[in-house]
């Protein structure tokens, strides 16, 4: 069985999910290679409000599976 993956530009409705994914990646994956202080700084900067406020500054994409 093949899984279809759709890649699209992120929209503001994705902000909570993208923030959660990014923060979990920092805390669970990157924490293996970086000091706790670095992880704390990185994960504290990444908030839903920051992402929404800076939405127009960068092009972000999301991948959705299972169509």
- Domains identified in the chain, total number: 1
Q: pLDDT tens-digit profile of 43-64?
A: 888 789 988 988 889 999 999 9
| Residue 67 confidence (pLDDT) | 65
* pTM summary value: 0.76
Q: Which long-range contacts (CB under 8 A, 24 or more apart) does 11-16 make?
A: 12/52, 12/55, 14/62, 15/48, 15/51, 15/52, 15/55, 16/48
Range of the domain at 53: 5-65
| 37 pLDDT above the threshold of 70 | yes
Query: How far is Cα 37 from Cα 27, in angstroms, rounded to an integer?
Result: 11
CA 35 to chain centre: 20
């Amino acid at each position: 069985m093949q899984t279809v993956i759709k890649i699209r530009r992120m929209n503001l409705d994705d902000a909570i999910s993208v923030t959660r994914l990014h923060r979990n990646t920092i805390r669970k994956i990157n924490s293996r290679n970086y000091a706790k202080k670095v992880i704390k700084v990185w994960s504290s900067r990444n908030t839903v409000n920051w992402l929404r406020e800076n939405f127009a500054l960068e092009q972000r994409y999301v991948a959705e599976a299972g169509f």
